[in-house]
Amino acid sequence: MLQIPLWQRIVIWGLVAIGVVLALPNAFYSRVERHNDAVKAIEQGVTDPQVLADAALWPDWLPSRLVALGLDLRGGAHLLAEVEVEQVFADRLDGYWPEIRDALRQHRDEIGTFRRLDGPPDELRIRISNPAGLQKAVEVVRGLASPVVSLGSVGATDIEVRAEAPDIVVVSLSEAEKAAITDRTVRQSLEIIRRRVDEVGTREPTIQRQGERRILIQVPGVGSAAELKALIGTTARLTFHPVVGRTTDPDQRPGPGQIIVPSMDEPGVYYILEKTPVVTGEDLVDAEPAFDQNGRPAVHFRFNPTGARKFGRYTAENVGSPFAIVLDNEVISAPVIREPIPGGSGQITGNFTVEESTQLAILLRAGALPAELTFLEERTIGPELGADSIEAGKLAAIVAGIAVLVFMALSYGWFGIIANVALILNVAMIFGLLSLIGATLTLPGIAGIVLTIGMAVDANVLVFERIREELRTARGPARAIELGYEKALSAILDANITTFITAVILYVMGSGPVRGFAVTLGLGIVTSVFTAVYLTRVMIVMWFERRRPRKIEV
Amino acid sequence: MRRLRLVPAETNWDFFRTARITFSASVVAVVISLAAFLILGLNYGIDFRGGTTIRTESHSAVDVGAYRQRLQELGLGDVSVTEVFDPTFESDKHVAMVRIEAQAGEEAASAELVAKVEEALRSVDPTIVFTSVESVGPKVSGELIRTAVIAVLLAIAAVLFYIWLRFEWQFSVGAVAALVHDVIITIGVFSIFRIQFDLATIAALLTIVGYSLNDTVVVFDRVRENLIKYKKKPLVEVLNLSINETLSRTVMTSVTTLIALIALLILGGDVIRGFVFAMTLGVVVGTYSSVFVASTILLWLGTKRDWSKPDANQGNQFSTSETP
């Protein structure tokens, strides 16, 4: 008859206890949060008495993992950026041109003269003067191709060369090379963005790759997405160029190997610079905000030995002539070299505010982005709105919970109370699991929990209704309870598996808050099936063993 | 001890006496919903059509006209301003949602655009604060629509397959007809009442798919059991018996779920109201449809009657028993 082996009882109650203990920290959210922050600070060597006091707020032997709150509950900024890899492809192809030129030159007798044609950025088109040598030219260029080093593209080469009749050689990047470049660029961008966000020092930012070339950035607590965008959206490519001249005509054609760049502070002023920089930001090892001798905000920087040597040599050879400091295609300033700068450190002055100089220093320290970013999606949620949402969600959950508890007790009496205890433990276990897997609770997630409160009783209702039916055929209460559980099982499983399927699909296809909902819904199904099939059964059996009632009323 | 009973302990109602009427009503509702969807379309949120929404909060009453006029002066194309009311707001809290269409040639709204709009609104009401600013570019919104549609279709297909596996194909058709019915009617209500349709609504639709099935499967599970038990009873009687037997449970579960949802609808705040409303509607329609749509279709399609054969694959599509 109604028997559950001891080990099963221990396992069931043990799982419940683990769930409740894991959920416990969430009941003291701000306290545990301060404890966790303090522990992290102590690990980094902080020994402030305030920090030590915070660390003592929560005992170390208890779990201290919390359910992370989503941006919609905590407030913060969310950005979805796409890395513009096309420009990198074009640069890569451009980089090939000198090599191709040199190789073709050696075969001038066969292919005649040649020149590069203007064309779409993803192709490099070369016209040769002797059409008979087209095949030879293609062969020569093909010979320059090198294998792509990446997983999944064994044997592929980086460029594809084809002949276009009668006299044009077309060079383009192969798909494998494009994929490799994309992967590399996005990874570098991810790393740079992470460094920049870390430099600002906010708590628990989420920075992850999404899809092939997108990056999702979520930073709780930052004032607005616009601020975040200013921080990570700037490419921050710093270069130092020799100055050729100054002009006010943007359409002036620069000479070969020269570029024309607008000035940041003087509107309408353009500088003509040598295209090849003397040194770039890649040679920087440090940058910090400072003030110049006139007390204006500036950025102080230091080069690594290679950069310092190049910079020292250049300044020594060009005393008296100006050089330009260029940031993202704008000349910040173009000072005249007064004396050689051998030490490898210098200062950038411009029309900065203190904030701008601080920001620029951060950007320079973190390094330049390898490609530009386009922002596809941005959301800022104010912390007040998040707090309001938590309050509203909490209130709704409590009211919903109490109403369901009362309703269950009225409908099923003692059995209803057992189901209610199970329901409370069920919610605790959802929180325990959420903390354990480090899931994020969002506003729809709270709705998912409230919905689970409503639906979790379903499995119990199925069992109880079944027990009622079995009681009518009068085979004694113990048998009725046993049959009730046994026969309701298939309906419980079928019903919950179908709902679980939709939760999984939501999780896979959804994003952000919707995903949070899918997680709580899915976990809610797992815990409610567990509580209905095992927990209430153990509770009823234990009650039954003690009381041995002749008659039960469900 | 007296118990609260929503449904008498034993009922013997004939659910198919009015089958023609209820089923016609469902068909009419579905047709109206589809027509509304095709003619009126949906009031898509920025998730699906791109653009920017700004939520404002202020201590003084919202002057929608002044907001709108000031914003129109900026020439940002289609701008809408709606005031938000909620029972959970304090009396001096006034909230409005400003929606600006996606600007040509831009993905997410630029910082300058947002700053311009905020400045314009501040000139109307200096105490205004902006509690949320969300912007979605057309590129992402297009993808989001596609993913949402795929998600709903995938969910329906997965469920169709699962039920087919566990029952017979007729059950599967009935269950899926019921949930398509629920989803379409929910979309229809969103279209007719111009309720904002966004990503959260899709989540709600998928939950409705889950709930509707949950309900249908419980009835079908009992139908299968009774088909084995009463081999000679006509199908209509078996169905009626099964629905009556599970009625008490159907009503109990719907009521507890509705209690929870209504609490959320009233107290959960305006941010998720659309989401919760869709689910509430879905639960009501889903409960109705598992009895009046799913079972009616099963009755019309008929099913195999010989479930007794000891067949390892009993009840799934590998079953050797023939469907009559």
Question: Angle CA(A151)–CA(A153)–CA(A154) in degrees, nearest 5?
Answer: 95
The whole-number pLDDT of residue B35 equals: 96
H-only helix segments in A441-535 = 443-472, 477-509, 512-530
> Residue B26 above 90 pLDDT?
yes
The pLDDT of A501-509, averaged and rounded, is 85
B312 pLDDT band (50/70/90 cuts)? very low
Least confident of A463-467, A509-513, B50-54, B219-223: A509-513
Residue B10 covered by a domain: no
> Residue B311 above 60 pLDDT?
no
The secondary structure of A164-179 as a DSSP string is ETTTEEEEEE-HHHHH
Interchain proximity B260–A443, CB inside 8 Å: no
> Residue B104 above 70 pLDDT?
yes
Could you tell me if B91 and B166 lie in one domain?
no
Could you tell me if B150 and B256 lie in one domain?
yes
Domain boundary among B111, B136, B161: B136
The whole-number pLDDT of residue B217 equals: 86
A474 pLDDT band (50/70/90 cuts)? low
- The Cα–Cα gap between A147 and A141 comes to 14
- Distance from the Cα of B70 to chain A's closest Cα (Å) equals 23
* Count of domains forming chain B: 2
B187 pLDDT band (50/70/90 cuts)? very high
User: Which among B97, B157, B116 is positioned nearest to A385, based on CA atoms?
Assistant: B97
Could you tell me if B38 and B152 lie in one domain?
yes
Where does chain B show beta strands of DSSP type E? 43-44, 51-58, 79-84, 94-100, 129-136, 196-197
The whole-number pLDDT of residue B2 equals: 67
* Cβ contact A204:A68 at 8 Å: yes
Residue B168 covered by a domain: yes
pLDDT digits (tens, 9 = 90+) for A383-415: 888 888 888 888 988 998 899 999 999 988 888
Residue B311 covered by a domain: no
Buried b (16+ CB within 10 A) or exposed e, A495-524: bbbbbbbbbebbbebbbbbbbbbbbbbbbb
- The Cα–Cα gap between A227 and B111 comes to 9
The whole-number pLDDT of residue B316 equals: 54
* Cβ contact A514:A506 at 8 Å: yes
> Residue B228 above 50 pLDDT?
yes
Interchain proximity B134–A378, CB inside 8 Å: yes
Chain A residues within 8 A of B155 when measuring between CB atoms: 501-502, 505-506
Note the CATH architecture for domain A87-174.
Alpha-Beta Complex (3.90)
A48 pLDDT band (50/70/90 cuts)? confident
The whole-number pLDDT of residue A406 equals: 92
The whole-number pLDDT of residue B320 equals: 46
pLDDT digits (tens, 9 = 90+) for A291-346: 888 888 888 888 888 888 888 888 888 888 888 888 888 888 888 888 888 888 88
* Cβ contact A3:A526 at 8 Å: no
Could you tell me if B36 and B109 lie in one domain?
no
To the question of pTM greater than 0.80 for the whole model, the response is no
pLDDT digits (tens, 9 = 90+) for A100-117: 888 888 888 888 888 888
The pLDDT of A155-162, averaged and rounded, is 83
CATH number reported for the structural domain that contains residue B212 in this entry: 1.20.1640.10
Percent of chain A with pLDDT over 70: 97
The whole-number pLDDT of residue A222 equals: 66
Which ipTM was obtained for this model? 0.83
- The Cα–Cα gap between A74 and A381 comes to 8
Could you tell me if B25 and B95 lie in one domain?
no
Where does A118-237 show beta strands of DSSP type E? 124-128, 159-164, 168-173, 206-210, 214-220
Could you tell me if B166 and B286 lie in one domain?
yes
Could you tell me if B39 and B167 lie in one domain?
yes
pLDDT digits (tens, 9 = 90+) for B206-222: 788 878 888 888 888 88
The whole-number pLDDT of residue A275 equals: 81
- The Cα–Cα gap between A26 and B108 comes to 35
> Residue B100 above 60 pLDDT?
yes
- Per-chain mean pLDDT for chain B: 85
The whole-number pLDDT of residue B214 equals: 82
B323 pLDDT band (50/70/90 cuts)? very low
pLDDT digits (tens, 9 = 90+) for B57-83: 988 888 888 888 888 888 888 888 988
Give the nearest partner residue to B248 out of A408, A465, A496, using CB atoms.
Answer: A465
Q: Which two tokens stand for residue B322?
A: 């023939």
The class (CATH top level) of A6-26+67-73+384-547 is mainly alpha
Q: Could you tell me the residue range of the domain that residue B131 belongs to?
A: 51-136
Percent of chain A with pLDDT over 90: 11
**Best B154, B212, B248, B271 residue to mutate vs chain A (most A CBs within 10 Å):** B271
Name the residue of chain A whose CA is nearest to B257's CA: A454
CATH number reported for the structural domain that contains residue B104 in this entry: 3.30.70.2040
Could you tell me if B35 and B79 lie in one domain?
no
CATH 3.40.50.10680 fits A239-346, yes or no: no
User: Which among A139, A73, A149, A84 is positioned nearest to A111, based on CA atoms?
Assistant: A139
The whole-number pLDDT of residue A69 equals: 86
The whole-number pLDDT of residue B319 equals: 47
Could you tell me if B99 and B156 lie in one domain?
no
Please report, for chain A, the start and end positions of each structural domain, with discontinuous segments joined by +: 6-26+67-73+384-547, 87-174, 239-346
Interchain proximity B108–A378, CB inside 8 Å: yes
Domain boundary among B104, B136, B168: B136
Least confident of A141-155, A301-315, A421-435, A473-487: A141-155
Chain B residues within 8 A of A453 when measuring between CB atoms: 260
Residue B317 covered by a domain: no
- Distance from the Cα of A334 to chain B's closest Cα (Å) equals 29
Q: Phi/psi zone of residue A353: left (φ > 0), alpha (ψ -120 to 50 degrees), beta?
A: beta
Chain B residues within 8 A of A509 when measuring between CB atoms: 147-148, 150-151, 154
Q: Which two tokens stand for residue B306?
A: 């010989």
The whole-number pLDDT of residue B308 equals: 61
Residue B81 covered by a domain: yes
pLDDT digits (tens, 9 = 90+) for B250-306: 888 889 889 989 998 998 888 888 888 998 999 999 999 988 999 999 999 888 777
* Cβ contact A329:A261 at 8 Å: yes
> Residue A63 above 50 pLDDT?
yes
Interchain proximity B139–A376, CB inside 8 Å: yes
pLDDT digits (tens, 9 = 90+) for A200-235: 766 678 888 988 899 998 888 766 777 788 888 777
The whole-number pLDDT of residue A257 equals: 76
Residue B73 covered by a domain: yes
The whole-number pLDDT of residue A151 equals: 60
Burial of B240: CB neighbours in 10 Å, binned 0-12, 13-18, 19+: buried
Chain A residues within 8 A of B88 when measuring between CB atoms: 388, 392, 395
The whole-number pLDDT of residue A386 equals: 86
Give the nearest partner residue to A506 out of B115, B203, B266, using CB atoms.
Answer: B203
The pLDDT of A85-98, averaged and rounded, is 84
Size of the A and B interface in Cβ pairs below 8 Å: 239
